[in-house]
Amino acid sequence: MSKDNHGRWTGAGLDAVLPALTGPDEATLRHVLGHYPTGVAVITASTPEGPAGIAMNSFTSVSMDPPLVLFCPAMSSTTWPQLRTAGRIAINVLSAGQESVSRLFASRSDDRFAEIAWTPGANGAPLLSDALGWLECTVQAEYPAGDHTVVIAEIDRMGVHAEISEPLVFFRGSYYEGMTQAVEADEAS
C-alpha cells in the first residue's frame, strides 16, 4: 500500500484494512467508538445522602470563555439525579494506577467512598486523592440526547496533581496506564 499525491492510501492492500462499513448496531457502535482512546473521570458531589460519584469517559472540554466542559450520563443512571440535585460537582481525572477507582465508581457498590481516600473541595464535592487533576464545577445546562443527557458545566476552580502526571487511559474496553513516548517533546508543558 502507498500514498498518492493527495496523501490518500491507494493500492490493493487497502481492501485488506478497510472492511465494508456497516450501520451502527449496538455491538458495532461500542466496538468502533471504543477505538477512540479517552481518559476516565469520576464526577462527584456532596448529596443529602452522603458523597456520590460515577465513572465517565464522556468528559471533554467545550469552551474557553466561559470555561465549559461536558459529560454524558445515561438516562438510566441512578447516581446522576443525585449529583444534579447537588448542582455543584467535582470532576476527578483519574491517574495511572487508579483502575480500581474507575471500577469502583462504575459498580453498583452502595458506598463507593468507604474504601478510598478523598477530601471535600471548596464547593463540598469530593476530591479523590491521587487523581491527576480536579475541576470544581457548577452545572449550567442539560440537553436530552437519545438514551443519554449532555450536561454542560462551568469550571469554578481547577488544578492538577503536583507530583503525578500519568493518566489512566480507556481504549477498546481495556485500561492502560500512562502514556507511551511523545511523538515530539512538547516544550510548552
Q: Which residues bind ligand FMN (CB under 6 A)?
A: 40, 54-58, 72-74, 77-80, 102, 105-106, 170
User: Is the Cβ–Cβ distance between 83 and 142 less than 8 Å?
Assistant: no
CB atoms within 10 A of CB 91: 23
With 0-12 / 13-18 / 19 or more C-beta atoms within 10 angstroms meaning exposed / middle / buried, residue 147 is exposed
Cα three-residue angle 130-131-132, rounded to 5 degrees = 115
Q: How far is the CB of 39 from ligand FMN (least distance, A)?
A: 9
77 or 140: CB nearest ligand FMN: 77
Instruction: Look at the block and give the residue holding cell 460537582.
Output: 89
Q: How far apart are CA 91 and CA 79, in angstroms?
A: 14
45 or 56: CB nearest ligand FMN: 56
3 or 31: CB nearest ligand FMN: 31
User: Is the Cβ–Cβ distance between 169 and 176 less than 8 Å?
Assistant: yes
1 or 75: CB nearest ligand FMN: 75
Q: How far is the CB of 128 from ligand FMN (least distance, A)?
A: 14
Q: How far is the CB of 48 from ligand FMN (least distance, A)?
A: 16
Q: How far is the CB of 142 from ligand FMN (least distance, A)?
A: 13
Question: Which three cell numbers, joined as nine digits, stand for 147?
Answer: 438514551
Q: How far apart are CA 102 and CA 167, in angstroms?
A: 12
Q: How far is the CB of 169 from ligand FMN (least distance, A)?
A: 10
10 or 81: CB nearest ligand FMN: 81
